Chains A and B, each alone.
Chain A
Amino acid sequence: MKKVLVCSLLVLAMSASAFGAAFKIGGTGPLTGGAAIYGIAAMRGAQIAAEEINALGGDVQFDLRYEDDTHDAEKAVNAYNALKDWGMQVSLGSVTSKPCEATAAENFADRIFALTPSASSAAVTEGKDNVFQMCFVDPNQGTASAQYIGEKGYAKKVAVIWKNDDVYSKGVRDTFVESAGKFGLEIVSETAFADGNDTDFSVQLTDAKDKGAELVFLPMYYQPASLILAQAQAMGYAPKWFGIDGMDGILTMEGFDKSLAEGVMLLTPFNADAKDEKTVKFVTEYQKRFGEIPNQFAADGYDCVYAYCQALTQAKATPDMDAETLCPKMIEQFTTMTFNGLTGENVKWSKNGEVTKDPKGMVIKNGAYVGLD
């Protein structure tokens, strides 16, 4: 895998230099370790986008480089510094929230513009005028989910199971719980888990069941969610399930019994089964290269590079400009432009770097995502 990576980076560097100077674009992400699935996906998405753009031979060319941060804040800063030494002009921040909170502070201090594909905690962009997000910020997901469940009338009594050592899960849970009352939801059960006790969910599920929850909200990634679904089935508990974007990926787990996820609803910006031309093209290319279906992180990475391409073109930026010159230009572009990508149409950014796009409600039917609306 590493070899492939090195080769593709080499090819990338060569193809970029063949057309003259290119923008140096760098990001950090977990390429090894437990969270590697997210980092590798975002990197591969960005790679495909950069190669597509370079192959077109336009004015904007990219020289992309990803450094490994193993989902660790300290290593992320080291990786960021390596990219800075390399001469990074615009940054893709970090892939996961905790490391990105650290690198975003560096981005702010160094005046290097950043657009993170998937670091969704609010602290990533807070108080930094030059850090932007391609994904929804966590608090918005919580409110959007509560609103969706309430307005569609899926349930009145709701249980929440969340991961209390994870900023992503906590951010979504906080705003979900806060806004649930507004949309007529009653939270009857609220239980948590953490790294190290994330295998047995019998207590959490019994609590939800005994208190009569009709719907269980799961603000978490899909790996623990798959265990929860299996254990609920074993104990004969069948509520409605509602997840967030981290649930995406559950269907592509090797060996997963898809019938367990039947009827699971989730809000996600990207659907690999969508039939529009852009998505089909991306999914086919990704599958051809890497032999797997891209998840939303890959799509976010892909969109980031295309958003940069659009912003740099519109700003008439040239690769000889340094990061500090590019920064105000990028801020101006990103707060005014509208972007159409894989993860949303008419995507806009607010001044504080948060993205506005419509979450898509999905439900899993016969082992595939189907739009809810």
Chain B
Amino acid sequence: MTFLNFFISGISLGSIYAIIALGYTMVYGISKMLNFAHGDVIMVGAYICFYAVVRYGLNPFLAVAVAMVLCSVLGIIVEGLAYKPLRQAPSLAVLITAIGMSYFLQNTALLLWSSNPKVFPSVVGRGAFHMFNGNLSVSHITALTIIVCLVIMVALSLFVSKTKMGKAMRACSEDKGAAQLMGINVNATISMTFAIGSGLAAIAGALLCSAYPTLMPTTGSLPGIKAFTAAVFGGIGSIPGAFLGGLMLGVIEIFAKAYISSQLSDAVVFGVLIVVLLVKPAGLLGKMTQEKV
């Protein structure tokens, strides 16, 4: 039963990684850039939720909706100011800009909201479902996170494969120049991608802070890096891959802590990552693409 409990802890941690990884992978899949500021948009989303609920007494679900809208706007602004001017620049320059953006958001948050940690009110309370005479418990927030993850995953897949905008996104992802020649507004498409990715980040922020309720300006950065790892693990650019990678990373982390050593858990997690990447360089569900020269 302890094993099952650990497994569920792993799933609950992993589902958080997964939901963050979805945002990473979606932006990467379409614009082919790593948005390292994603973790910090999550933090901003969580702060917006926090203030909406605690200061303005909004319903938590309404607060998440507000955060989604504001974060989408933030995503568009960040993309327009920091990434759009670098569309033709080498990818390394964009990567560095993204890292700079990440620090910029963190330090702005620090000035606006101070470094004092705040305790986030859970969107669904702190209850849990108990099974097997209370030996096994799954918290409401874990259940909610997994459901939300699945919904987002299906919705994103459908959006990308069925809608006109989705088609435009896939076209941009394959070849920006050719897409433009076909009459696709590349800039608008990429802005849209960022808006969706940042909206997802707001949901991830609310769920992350509901599960692990301390909120600081640095809250998003480390889970962001772990989630990025999860996205690479699952195959970056692949939407189901991000989900699978996130869950597996969480489970491996908890099992490593429980059965190997609580001090070495990260070493084990990243060790597994290295092995997986050696065997499958594109990640678990990633596609190897041939670069034609």
Contact = CB atoms under 8 A, between A and B. Distances in A.
Interface of A: 1-2, 32-37, 40, 164, 191-197, 199-200, 202-204, 206-207, 210, 222-223, 226-227, 230, 234-235, 252-257, 292
Nearest to B12: A200
B59 interface: no
Contact of A292 (B116, B118, B253): B116
Contact of B226 (A196, A203, A223, A226): A196
Contact of B13 (A1, A32, A194, A200): A200
Contacts of A36: 110, 114-115
B254 A203 contact: yes
Q: Which of B54, B107, B119, B225 has the most CB of A within 10 A?
A: B119
B212 A227 contact: yes
A234 B139 CA distance: 9
B14 to A, nearest CB: 10
B115 A253 contact: no
Given A32-B107, A257-B119, A194 B266 contact: yes
Interface string B204-217: 00000001111011
A280 B114 CA distance: 24
B263 A192 contact: yes
A143 to B, nearest CB: 23
Contacts of A230: 126, 213
B126 A203 contact: no
A336 to B, nearest CB: 38
Interface in B1-37: 2, 5-6, 9, 12-13
B128 interface: yes
A203 B117 contact: no
- Nearest 8 A/B pairs, CB to CB: A36-B115, A255-B119, A199-B212, A202-B9, A191-B262, A256-B119, A203-B257, A34-B218
Contact of A254 (B12, B116, B225, B263): B116
Interface in B108-144: 110-111, 114-121, 126, 128, 137, 139
Given A192-B262, A202-B9, 19 more contacts: A1-B111, A34-B216, A34-B218, A36-B115, A37-B115, A37-B116, A195-B222, A196-B225, A197-B257, A197-B265, A199-B211, A200-B12, A200-B212, A202-B5, A210-B2, A234-B126, A234-B128, A253-B117, A255-B54
Contacts of B258: 203, 206-207
Interface residues of B, number: 42
Contact of A206 (B5, B116, B119, B218): B5
B252 to A, nearest CB: 11
Contacts of A210: 2
Given A234-B139, A253-B116, A200 B214 contact: no
A203 B9 contact: yes
Contacts of B12: 200
A258 B89 CA distance: 52
Contact of B9 (A37, A196, A200, A227): A200
Interface centre among A204, A254, A256, by most B CB within 10 Å?
A: A254
Nearest to B121: A255
21 contacts: A32-B107, A32-B110, A34-B115, A36-B115, A37-B115, A37-B116, A164-B263, A200-B12, A200-B13, A200-B253, A202-B9, A203-B262, A206-B2, A206-B6, A206-B258, A222-B117, A223-B214, A234-B128, A252-B116, A253-B116, A255-B54
B117 A223 contact: yes
A197 B214 contact: no
A41 B115 CA distance: 11
B98 to A, nearest CB: 19
B223 interface: yes
Nearest to B8: A202
Contacts of B222: 195-196
A234 B129 CA distance: 11
Contacts of B5: 202, 206
Contacts of B217: 34
Interface string B71-87: 00000000000000000
A371 to B, nearest CB: 25
A204 B115 CA distance: 27
A29 B266 CA distance: 29
B231 to A, nearest CB: 16
A222 B258 CA distance: 24
Contacts of B9: 200, 202-203
Contacts of B212: 199-200, 227
Nearest to B255: A203
Contacts of B253: 197, 200
